[in-house]
Amino acid sequence: MFGHTLLRLDQRDQNDSNRILAYTVNYAAQKLPEDSELVFVYRGLVGGYPGDTTILPYYMKLKEYSDIESRDIWEYKLELTQEQTDQLVRHIWEIQSVQFDYYFFTENCSYRVLGMLDVVLPKPRMLEQFNLYTIPIDTVRLPLEKGIVSDIAYRPSVVTRFWHQLNELTDEQKKLVYHIVAGPDTNLDALDHLDEESRINVLEVAYQYSRLISLPGRKAATVSYNLLRARQKLAAGSNLTPVPIPKKRDDQGHRSSQVRLEKGS
């Protein structure tokens, strides 16, 4: 049910190596710093916050959602004509200084993204299909049903990558990861008995672990620095595998509203 939807605007010369430099169009509530989480929930439900449309580099949104909040990200490439793309950019430029009341269940990020696309796509308007609530995963399905999605990519979060690669280590190597990061003695001499390939794997996973947990005082910086120095002395590359693409995407699950009757014995 929960999630976030945004638009990314790629330039013609952007590819997988520099796509994080593209700009994103993001709509979100402007929470007041002094509001508690309870106040935030209440005001978000009743339209108590202004919603702003902001334009930020994609790498900043990746850092926020994938690195800090540990969310996996799905990217859906939209097949728009040049004329539609130009009109979409003009519309975004027009509304970026306009504030809308933000409603968590209805006029949220997904609602505004669909509204932007409705400006340039032929009718029927996608927003007409949402009355009571606008849930991000439901809004993703509409461009798919319209046939304007030409490609889909998956970006695992740092936590997903860490757990996947940790599980590729042996039990002994997993213990070493904990020992050299969070144990009482973080001396890297404990890796001396390993062959180079195993040391590379342990160091790379240990560095990820050091960035995920909360270490006291200056220990975090010291541990991370020592791990990077040790890794730099070894050969480039590792045999740790990338996270496999999930067999089922989020949009391939059941609809957000589902009623099921079951009987158990």
Residue type, 193: H
For range 179-207, the mean pLDDT: 90
Residue 258's pLDDT is what?
A: 53
Q: Enter the DSSP assignment of 138.
A: H
Q: Greater confidence, 82 or 129?
A: 82
CA nearest 227: which of 205, 212, 196? 205
Q: Output the six-digit token pair for 181.
A: 């990061």
Residue 33's pLDDT is what?
A: 87
Tokens 């541990």 correspond to 223
Do 202 and 177 meet the contact criterion of CB atoms below 8 Å apart? yes
Domains of the chain, by residue range, sit at 7-155, 158-232
For range 131-157, the mean pLDDT: 87
Which residues, including other chains, have CB under 8 Å from residue 225's CB and lie 6 or more apart? none
Q: Name the average pLDDT for the chain.
A: 88
Query: Given pLDDT bands bounded at 50, 70 and 90, which one contains residue 256?
Result: low
Residue 20's pLDDT is what?
A: 93
Which residues, including other chains, have CB under 8 Å from residue 127's CB and lie 6 or more apart? 111, 114, 115, 118
Q: Enter the DSSP assignment of 97.
A: T
Q: Output the six-digit token pair for 105.
A: 């269940």
Phi and psi based region of residue 147 (left: phi greater than 0; alpha: psi -120 to 50; beta: remaining) = left
Residue 161's pLDDT is what?
A: 95
Q: Enter the DSSP assignment of 37.
A: H
Tokens 């430099």 correspond to 21
State the pTM of this model. 0.84
Q: Greater confidence, 151 or 131?
A: 151
pLDDT for residue 127 is more than 90: no
pLDDT for residue 259 is more than 60: no
CA-CA distance, 170 to 147, in Å (whole number)? Answer: 45
Residue 16's pLDDT is what?
A: 85
Residue 201 CB-half CA count within 13 A: 22
Do 37 and 170 meet the contact criterion of CB atoms below 8 Å apart? no
pLDDT for residue 146 is more than 70: yes
Largest Cα–Cα distance in the chain?
A: 66
Q: Output the six-digit token pair for 85.
A: 């793309």
For range 36-47, the mean pLDDT: 90
Q: Output the six-digit token pair for 125.
A: 């308007």
Give percent of the chain with pLDDT exceeding 90: 54
Query: Given pLDDT bands bounded at 50, 70 and 90, which one contains residue 262?
Result: low
